[in-house]
Amino acid sequence: MATNDTQNTGSTQVTGAIEAGYADLDSVRTSALSGLVTIRAAKLAMLKREIADAKLVKDTATVESLTPEVASQTLLITALTKETAESATPLPARSDTTSVVHGFVMTSQNGSLVPAANSTVEVYAAGSVGSGTPLAQATTDSSGYYSISVPAAAPGAPAAPQAVVVVMPAAGNVPLVQSMLPLAGNSLSYRQLVVQG
């Protein structure tokens, strides 16, 4: 359990990062989330130990009362681990000549979202999905992260062209077609994509 001194230190670090112009906010957030994962993992281990002890003495009431809490802690740890990975991933660089689309591809397994590693993410011009060549593509890493730089609209163009993001999952799951997005220069679009498991 965190002490007041620990809580005050964390608060001071976050406040200091905000005052420093957000330069270090992601690393502070990553550190705080990692601490939460550690605390929740310890809680989960304690609950599992209590269930094992209850099973030894055939205390089914205790086992039944703790089992939902184990499931809840497991889901929370999964969500915190995912959030930690996202906060530890640096933002892609921007450019006046490209539009960057980045984010994470996840798949649902046993009620939890898990990274869809080695999935292909493609960006197509609107109207050319399935018949044209992608404008750009990338493969997700082990955390499901991808970043794609797409040529942007020419400066002074009447409107930024639209694009469609398509995910081709590595495991042969159903492809996902994401909503359209503008391709304006110096833009950064975040898309978390969830494919069917």
Q: What is the pLDDT of residues 113-163, one digit of tens each?
A: 778 888 888 887 777 766 777 888 888 888 888 888 877 665 555 455 566
* pLDDT on residue 20: 56
DSSP code of residue 9: H
Q: What percent of the chain shows pLDDT beyond 90?
A: 18
pTM equals: 0.59
| Amino acid (1-letter code) at residue 171 | A
DSSP code of residue 135: S
173 — pLDDT class (breaks 50, 70, 90)? low
> Which burial class, exposed, middle or buried, applies to 68 when counting CB atoms under 10 A from its CB (0-12, 13-18, 19+)?
exposed
| Position 5 pLDDT exceeds 50 | no
* pLDDT on residue 83: 79
2 — pLDDT class (breaks 50, 70, 90)? very low
3-state secondary structure of 31: helix
- Mean pLDDT value across the chain: 75
Q: Show the tokens assigned to 37.
A: 């994962």
| Position 57 pLDDT exceeds 80 | yes
Contact between residue 76 and residue 67 where contact means Cβ atoms under 8 Å apart? no
Closest CA relative to residue 108, chosen from 174, 38, 164, 166:
174
Q: What is the pLDDT of residues 112-121, one digit of tens each?
A: 777 888 888 8
CA-derived radius of gyration, the chain: 22
Give the DSSP letter string of 174-185: --EEEEEEE--T
Placement of tokens 């990274």 in the chain: 115
Count of beta carbons in the 10 Å neighbourhood of residue 17: 17
Closest CA relative to residue 31, chosen from 57, 49, 6:
6
Contact between residue 152 and residue 183 where contact means Cβ atoms under 8 Å apart? yes
